[in-house]
Amino acid sequence: WLPTAVDGLQLWLDGADGEATALTGDRVTQWSDKSGQDHHVTADAAEAPALKPAGQYTKSVLRFGGSESIGEGLLPVEDTFDVFIVARPDGSAEVPDGESVVGVSPAHQLAWAPEVAPGSGRGAGLALGTDGAAVFERNESVVAPVTIADQPIGEAFVVLTVRYESKQASIWLGDQLLKTGKPSSAATIQPSLRFGGPGDDSDGLTGFVGDIAEVLVFDHHLSEDDVVAVRGYLTSKWWGPCDPFA
C-alpha cells in the first residue's frame, strides 16, 4: 500500500527514498515530490539540511540544525487539507529566552515554516518541540499561533497530523487529538512548501532543530478509513512491527 492510493495527494516527501534526495556532499539540495504533482523542494547547499543515514528504523531522514531549510512558496490547496509529518524534535535545542516553543509569537522550532500568502490569505505551518506543537499562520505583517497543543511530545520520532477543515486547524499525535483551534479569520489558508524553518531569525523566527523523515499533504479532509490507512503505512514503515502509539 502506498499513499498514492488515496485521492488528492499533493505532496509526498520521503527521506528514506535515495532516488528522491539529490545530494551535494551530505546536503539535500532537492527533495523530490513523489505524489506525481512535481512539487519538488530545493535549497542551496549552504542552507540545505543534511541526510542522516539510518536515522529511524534503519532509514534515512533529513537533519535540521536550526539554520537550514528547504523549499519555498505555497501548495495550490486552500482552506481544507490534511498534512502528515513524521519528525523528531531535538531535546538539546534551547528555546530563546527560556520560552515554550508553543503559544508564542514570534515562532520557534518551525519544522514546517509558514510562508507569506498573497493578499489577505495566510500560509500555514507547524512549530514542533519536545514540549508541544503549534500551528502558525503567516501573512505579510504577522506570524501568529492559531492552534496550540501545549503537551509533551518528547524527543522520539512521532507521526503528527495537522488537519484543516474549512480553515479550522487541529493537531493530532498518532490517533490522539491534541487540540482543535478556532476557525481562522484569513480569507484563505494554504499549506507551506518550506520545511525546517526560515533559515534565520531576522523576524524573530527560529528554525527547527531535529529530524524530518516523511511529509504527506492531501487536498481535502480524509475519511476515517483513509486516515487509518495513511497512519498505518507511516507507522509500519518507520517503526516496523512496533507501534509506538499502541
pLDDT tens digits for the chain (246 residues)? 999 999 999 999 999 999 999 999 999 999 999 999 999 999 999 999 999 998 898 999 999 998 899 999 999 999 999 999 999 998 765 444 444 445 455 567 889 998 888 888 999 999 888 888 889 898 887 788 888 888 888 889 999 999 999 999 999 999 999 999 999 989 999 999 999 977 444 566 778 999 999 999 999 999 999 999 999 999 999 998 766 555
Cell of 104: 508564542
Amino acid 99: pLDDT = 47
Locus of grid cell 481535502: 220
Rounded Cα–Cα distance for residues 149 and 238 (Å):
24
Amino acid 49: pLDDT = 96
Amino acid 95: pLDDT = 45
DSSP state of 220: S
Amino acid 17: pLDDT = 96
Amino acid 197: pLDDT = 78
Q: Looking at the chain, which runs of residues are DSSP E strands?
A: 9-14, 21-24, 27-31, 41-42, 50-56, 59-65, 81-89, 110-113, 122-129, 132-138, 143-149, 158-165, 168-173, 176-180, 189-191, 194-195, 209-218
Locus of grid cell 502528515: 84
Amino acid at 190: Q
Whole-model pTM: value is 0.93
User: 109 near 89, Cβ under 8 Å?
Assistant: yes
